[in-house]
Chain A
Amino acid sequence: MNFDLSEEQQLVSDSIERFVQENYHLDSRIAIVKKSPGYSEEYWKTMSELGWLGLPFSEDDGGFGGDQIDTMVLMEQFGKGLVLEPYLASIILGGGAIKRAGNDEQRQAWLEGVIDGSKQLALAYAEPESGDEPHNVALAGSKTSDGYTLTGTKCMVLHGGTATAFVVSFRTSGGTVDQSGITLALIPADREGLSIQAFPTVDGLQSSELTFDKVAVTAADIIGDVDGGFETLNATINDGILAVAAEAVGAMEVLYKDTVAYTQDREQFDHPLSDFQVLQHRMVEMFMEYEQCKSLLFRATMEVASNGEDAQRCVHALKHLIGKASFFVGENAVQTHGGMGVTEELRVGHYFKRLLVIEAQFGNTDYHLDQFAA
């Protein structure tokens, strides 16, 4: 048994930590958020040059052959800085679907650009009424002579505004909530009939809504097998959950540590706040929640990376615990910081907002507990 990072992983972790410390002060982050496209193109280029964008792709695809443990190390550090660049959207989700199920032409056409940062992919799977279920797909493909046409909507597509192409789930057979009958296609952003409405989210990141008006999908656009897209979609979303869970663990570490530091600094009733036992115990509980999340993050990530039998259950358990702990740690960090905690001036509120968005993504806390128990 060994929970230590490899020498290579430690190097990556250290270099990302340095990058975040140097480039992601609260003020510089707010400046990036306010300016289009909502992330730093310079940082994105740096991330590509440092090899981070190629981390989870095979060497054949031009990457470094890393697995979920490698991206966990990276995402945890990203979480400490609330990094804004579209790593989750393009590398984990969009790129993740192509690396799993893309054919040779698709890999050659797209992955080189994804890894060097010149192209971005995004995953479009959620719909207005799909709730928390990734298999709830109503967008139907009408059969044509050489493919399908799509008319409908996809929602909450991360970083859709800057994506070069979308991995889109649509229904080719079965009922709206069937796992079979879902097909994935790779559709360029400039395809006729596709319109993209980009908007910011409360955490300062970018999302979008896609409207399909008789968008043509040809046989060459299909990723993997017709009707057989769910397995790829689900595995990709599981990677997304592992990634945001690692980010959340990084964010929670900042929240509990900032709270400990603040209570030692702030004096009321002629004592530092940290003298009050009710606050001491509260911070101990915040710390324990963080540690529990970190343990389950390790467990779920290793299970998925090794294709363990228990992988899916671990992912459900992790997303549930992360959500529950996010509320506990976030609410108490804000409460303990008092009035300052609810202003834009201190970073605690910004970290909590990121945790809220993560909680609602890829199925919320209750949904995953229900799936875990099923």
Chain B
Amino acid sequence: MDIELSKEDLDFEAEVRGFLKENAYTGGDAEAWRMNWFEKAREKGNWDVPKWPVKFGGPGWTPNQHFVWQKETARAGTPWDMPFGLSMLGPVLMAHGSEEQQQRFLPDIRARKVNWCQGYSEPGAGSDLASLKTKAELSEDGSHYVVNGTKIWTTMAHIADWIFCLTRTSDAGIKQEGITFLLFPMKQDGVEIKPIITLGGSHTVNTVFFSDVKVPVENRVGEEGKGWTYAKGLLEHERTGIAGISNSIVALEGLKNKARSVKRGNGSLMDVPSFRAKVAELEVDLMAVEYTELRSLATASAGTAPGPESSILKLKGTDIQQRIQKLTMEAGGQFSAAWGGTNAGPDFARAGMGGYMSSRVYTIYGGASEVQKDIVTKKVLGIKSSKK
């Protein structure tokens, strides 16, 4: 057992820091900077796709290098990026897509040219995702599917170019069978998008309606009826991402600084014992989960799907994110209630309650906490339900 970084790792760390410093945003056209950043990262040694396997153009980092990258990028910040193509669909195509599909879709995902969204949940299929009903019917000549149905909570559907979508092609057998994984463009007739406004006041999720959308059979990933198997691996990737542990480490430092700026008596809010204790408890949990993630990183070689342990990371990681939001709101005091139109109180308080309300979704999306616990029960603890 050894947690020391080797000399090579420390050199790598210095190199990463240097790169991030050199390419930090300094103003001007943000989109031009973003595209340039990814280009530079690619030139540096395929740093634009850290988690992709070498076979598909990734850098082939060791677990320690991944850890260094995650830690440093969380602190320095990286350009805005969407996980759907890069971290979710990408690995599915690498594992189950045809060579033709890999060549057709992966380069544009890597170049951040095409934005993807994920067509999973439905109004009647949330936690129970496998009960989804969006129907895909194969045409008589076998050339295309016709898709009809409704997807909900589709993040960024309103800016997405393409969707990867779970559809039902058969009702025979158990519900996990008969699900087919299709890819199709969002900007076409028969695709209608309705925004959902969440309690934080923002628009990121949507309801998406499909009516007679034609999808060529060559856009089916893998076999018909096997989509659930492909989708499951993808969900595990999503969960690891949602845990957001590196971001929480940075956010916790931010919270402490905010609390130090709030005057209480002769000191600051960080001197108030009850508040300080809550921040400390949070930090202890975060220290532990950081190493839970490292342990899972060390056992899983880069590029393969994380196992059901990702559920633990999601459960702990989202709880920590929510507690950071809650304490930030608390640090803002009454001023966190303001909804625009005032400069009263500390600057960070302005979006306090909105931020807290938005954070409630962390334990709901990507498989609610209740579902994660079911997965741990069955897959990790090995408890089978015995129906009497």
- Residues on A lying within 8 angstroms of B by beta carbon are 126, 128-129, 131-132, 153, 155-156, 177, 197-203, 207, 209, 267-270, 276, 278-279, 327, 331, 334-335, 338-339, 341-345, 349-350, 352-353, 356-357, 360-361, 364, 366, 369-370
Chain B residues whose CB sits within 8 angstroms of the CB of A131 once the complex forms: 262-264, 333
Residues of chain B with a CB closer than 8 A to A207's CB: 337-338, 342
| Partner of B345 from A155, A269, A356 at Cβ < 8 Å | A155
What are 29 of the A-B contact pairs (CB < 8 Å)? A128-B344, A131-B333, A156-B335, A197-B341, A198-B341, A199-B339, A199-B342, A200-B339, A202-B337, A202-B338, A268-B126, A268-B131, A270-B131, A276-B370, A278-B373, A279-B370, A331-B360, A335-B363, A338-B126, A339-B152, A339-B153, A339-B361, A339-B365, A342-B358, A344-B198, A349-B357, A353-B199, A356-B353, A369-B274
Residues B344 and A155 in contact, CB atoms below 8 Å apart:
yes
Specify the main secondary structure of chain A where it touches its partner: mixed
Instruction: Determine if A366 and B275 form an interchain contact, defined as CB atoms under 8 angstroms apart.
Output: yes
CA distance in complex: A76, B358 (Å): 27
Q: Which of A155, A331, A343, A352 contacts B334 (CB 8 A)?
A: A155
Chain B: interface residue count, which band?
Answer: 35 or more
In the assembled complex, which residues on chain B have CB atoms less than 8 Å from the CB atom of A350? Answer: 199
**Are A335 and B360 interface neighbours, CB within 8 A?**
yes
Question: Inside 8 A of B280's CB, which chain A residues have their CB?
Answer: none
Provide the bound-state CA to CA distance between A312 and B276, in Å: 26
Q: Which residues of A contact B345 (CB under 8 A)?
A: 128, 155
- Let me know if B368 and A343 touch, CB within 8 A: no
Q: How far is the CB of B358 from chain A (nearest CB, A)?
A: 8
Cβ contacts under 8 Å, B196 to chain A: 343, 345
Q: Report how far A186 CA is from B82 CA in the complex, Å.
A: 56
* Residues of chain A with a CB closer than 8 A to B121's CB: 339
For the complex, give the distance between the alpha carbons of A348 and B360 in Å: 13
B146 smallest CB distance to A (angstroms): 27
**What are the residues of chain A within 8 A of B329 when measuring CB–CB?**
356, 360
Out of A267, A342, A356, A361, name the residue touching B198 (CB < 8 Å): A342
CB atoms of B337 and A335 under 8 A apart: no
Within 8 A of A (CB), among B144-167: 152-153
Interface residues of B in 196-213 (CB under 8 A from A): 196-199, 205
Q: Nearest A residue to B332 by beta-carbon distance?
A: A360
Query: When the two chains form their complex, are residues A352 and B357 in contact, meaning their CB atoms are under 8 A apart?
Result: yes
Contacts of B73 in A (CB 8 A): none
What is the bound-complex CA distance between A343 and B335, given in angstroms? Answer: 23
Contacts of B358 in A (CB 8 A): 342
In the assembled complex, the CB of B282 is this many whole angstroms from the nearest CB of chain A, namely 15
Q: Which residues of A contact B353 (CB under 8 A)?
A: 202, 353, 356-357
Residues of A contacting B262 with CB < 8 Å? 131
Decide yes or no whether B14 CB sits under 8 A from chain A: no
Give the tally of cross-chain contacts (CB within 8 A): 129
Return the chain A residue nearest B262 by Cβ: A131
Cβ A342 vs Cβ B360 within 8 A: yes
Q: Contact between A364 and B330 (Cβ–Cβ < 8 Å)?
A: yes
Residue of A nearest to B349 (CB): A360
**Contacts A339-B365, A343-B199 given; does A202 touch B342 at CB 8 Å:** no
Asked if B128 and A269 make an inter-chain contact with CB atoms under 8 angstroms apart, the answer reads yes
What residue of chain A has the Cβ atom nearest to residue B373's Cβ? A278
Interface contact B361-A342, CB-CB below 8 Å: yes
**Inter-chain contacts of B91 with A (CB < 8 A):** none
The residue on A at minimum CB distance from B369 is A335
Q: A268-B127, A339-B361, A342-B198 are in contact. List 10 more A-B contacts (CB 8 A).
A: A132-B333, A177-B265, A202-B357, A209-B342, A278-B373, A335-B360, A335-B364, A342-B364, A344-B198, A353-B357
Of all A-B residue pairs in the complex, the 7 with the closest CB atoms, nearest first, are A199-B341, A268-B128, A349-B199, A201-B337, A366-B274, A202-B353, A199-B342
> CB distance B330 to A343 under 8 Å?
no
Residues of B within 8 A of A360 (CB): 329-330, 333-334, 336-337
Please tell me if the beta carbons of B337 and A156 are within 8 angstroms of each other in the complex.
yes
Contact of A199 among B272, B275, B340 (CB under 8 A): B340
CA distance A200 to B338 in the complex (A): 6
Q: Which residues of B contact A361 (CB under 8 A)?
A: 334, 337
Given A128-B344, A209-B344, check contact A343 B197 (CB 8 Å).
Answer: yes
Pairwise interchain contact A341-B339, C-beta atoms closer than 8 A: no
- Distance (whole angstroms) from the CB of A283 to the closest CB of chain B: 13
The interface residues of chain B lying within 8 Å CB-to-CB of A200 are: 339-341
User: Chain A nearest CB: distance from B342 CB in Å?
Assistant: 4
Q: Which A residues are CB-close (under 8 A) to B363?
A: 335
Contacts of A202 in B (CB 8 A): 337-339, 353-354, 357
Residue of chain A at shortest CB distance from B121: A339
Chain B residues contacting A267 (CB-CB under 8 Å) are 124
Question: Which one, A153, A201, A345, A364, contacts B338 given CB within 8 A?
Answer: A201
Q: How far is the CB of A237 from chain B (nearest CB, A)?
A: 13
Is B84 interfacial (CB-CB < 8 Å)? no
Task: Provide the residues of chain B in CB contact with A344, threshold 8 Å.
Answer: 197-199
Residue numbers in A under 8 Å from B360 (CB-CB): 331, 334-335, 341-342
B181, CB-defined interface residue at 8 Å: no
B47 contacts the other chain (Cβ, under 8 Å)?
no
Distance A353 CA – B360 CA, assembled complex (angstroms)? 12
Residue in B152, B198, B262 with the greatest tally of chain A CB atoms within 10 Å: B198
| Interface membership of B356, Cβ < 8 A | yes
**Shortest distance from the beta carbon of B376 to any chain A beta carbon, whole Å:** 13
B13 to chain A, nearest CB (A): 38
Per the bound structure, the CA–CA distance linking A341 and B152 in Å amounts to: 14
CB nearest neighbor in B for A157: B344
Min CB–CB distance B164 → chain A (angstroms): 19
The chain B residue sitting closest to A279, CB to CB, is: B370
Residues of chain B contacted by A369 (CB below 8 angstroms)? 274
Min C-beta distance of A280 to chain B, whole Å: 12
Expressed in whole angstroms, the Cα–Cα distance for A276 and B340 within the complex equals 41
Does the CB pair A126–B126 fall under 8 Å?
no
B344 cross-chain contacts in A, Cβ below 8 A: 128, 153, 155-156, 209
The docked-state distance in angstroms from the alpha carbon of A335 to that of B360 is 7
Closest to A199 in B: B341
CB contacts (< 8 Å) of A353 on chain B: these are 199, 353, 357
Which chain B residues border A341 with CB–CB below 8 Å? 360, 364
Contacts of A199 in B (CB 8 A): 338-342
